[in-house]
Amino acid sequence: MVLKAELHCHVEGAASPALVARKAAKYGADVSAFIVDGRFVWHDFTSFLRAYDQASALFRTQEDYADLTEDYLLALSAQDAIYSEVFISTDHAISAGLSPRAYIEGLAEGMRRAKAATGIESRMIATGLRHKGPDAVMEAARYIAENPHPLVTGFGMAGDERMHHPRDFARAFDVARDAGLGITVHAGELSGWESVANALDTIRPSRIGHGVRAIENPDLVRRLAEEQILLECCPGSNISLQVYADFPSHPFPALARAGVPVTLNSDDPPYFHTDLAREYDIAAAFFGCDDGALAEITRTALKAAYVDETTRNTLI
């Protein structure tokens, strides 16, 4: 049995179709546009984001979010995970009519329940949404900087990478960094290596969400290895979104061989028909990782986690 850790899972994207359907029944909503035969349906990144937003809109109360977080973490613990960082999005809460404070309290309550039941540790990474533009991302950063919570330890940016330049968000990330938060940003998923290089130059993250398309530039791969920038790799997500044709074409093994710190993550598990255990299975089946290598991937994640040293030392 290999212990696991996850650094990249969007909490709204972790809601199972069954849980979303329960919330739809509670609120009298119709989900037939994006749940068919118990599965989320979408066909490209844009329709994925639309389904994701529609499902997220069915989480409307503090208790809905406590439920969702507990559900995800209990399932993760059953996969032998000991630690998880979840991306949260105050924008989604506000769209659903929930205050950011109640949203974060609900998430924290779910985390406390899961920890009491299984011992799993978890933290939150607040995110801004790139396609909403620099002002919205700045607002998300300011909120979290001005309303610190002990379980919110990082700031990131998700959403459509094809929109805007990373430099447009540099000031928002400065606000988050000055508040003591760890910095990660999605890059090198939908866009190529330049997107990763620009994010490094302007946002100065310690980790990159995905980042796999750095493989397109050997100098950039060397830079990631030299600077020990960790990549939150999500192979199942990448195949589902057709970033790569199949697992044998995925650059995970080449990045690892080049000395880039790489980890395994589920991203939005039910949307990509995956979970953390499957990601570790994929690495065993396609990336040549034996149990020792998988355990090392978990240690790599824990070393780069945005968590206090006392807690880190209990995990490593």
Q: Which residue, among 94, 91, 101, has the nearest Cα to 129 in the 3D structure? A: 91
Among ligand HPA, Zn ion, none, residue 191 binds (CB under 5-8 Å by kind): none
Separate counts of helices (H) and strands (E) for the chain: 14, 10
Burial 9-35 (b: 16+ CB within 10 A, else e): bbbbbbbbbebbbebbeeeeeebeebb
What would the two tokens of residue 274 be?
Answer: 């995956």
Q: Residue of minimal CB distance from ligand HPA?
A: 158
Among ligand HPA, Zn ion, none, residue 91 binds (CB under 5-8 Å by kind): none
Segment 257 to 276, residues that bind Zn ion, using CB under 5 A? 267
Q: Which residue, among 233, 228, 272, has the nearest Cα to 250 in the 3D structure? A: 233
Burial 230-258 (b: 16+ CB within 10 A, else e): bbbbbbbbbbbbebbeebeebbbeebbeb
Q: Which residue, among 121, 114, 115, 125, has the nearest Cα to 84 in the 3D structure? A: 121
Residue 251 identity: P
Give me the least distance between CB of 282 and Zn ion, in Å please.
17
- Is residue 91 close enough to count as binding ligand HPA by CB under 6 A? no
Q: How far apart are alpha carbons 27 and 10 in whole angstroms?
A: 23
- Is residue 250 close enough to count as binding ligand HPA by CB under 6 A? no
DSSP letter assigned to residue 163? S
Judged by beta carbon, residue 120 or residue 185, the one nearer Zn ion is 185
Q: Is 189 a catalytic residue?
A: yes
- Is residue 159 close enough to count as binding ligand HPA by CB under 6 A? yes
Give me the least distance between CB of 48 and Zn ion, in Å please.
11
- Is residue 13 close enough to count as binding ligand HPA by CB under 6 A? yes
Please pick, among 85, 121, 161, 189, the residue that the annotation labels catalytic.
189
Segment 117 to 136, residues that bind Zn ion, using CB under 5 A? none
Judged by CB under 5 A, the number of residues near Zn ion is 1
Residue selected from 158, 175, 176, 302 as contacting ligand HPA according to rule CB under 6 A: 158
Give me the least distance between CB of 9 and Zn ion, in Å please.
8
Judged by beta carbon, residue 82 or residue 155, the one nearer ligand HPA is 155
Residue selected from 6, 189, 275, 279 as contacting ligand HPA according to rule CB under 6 A: 189
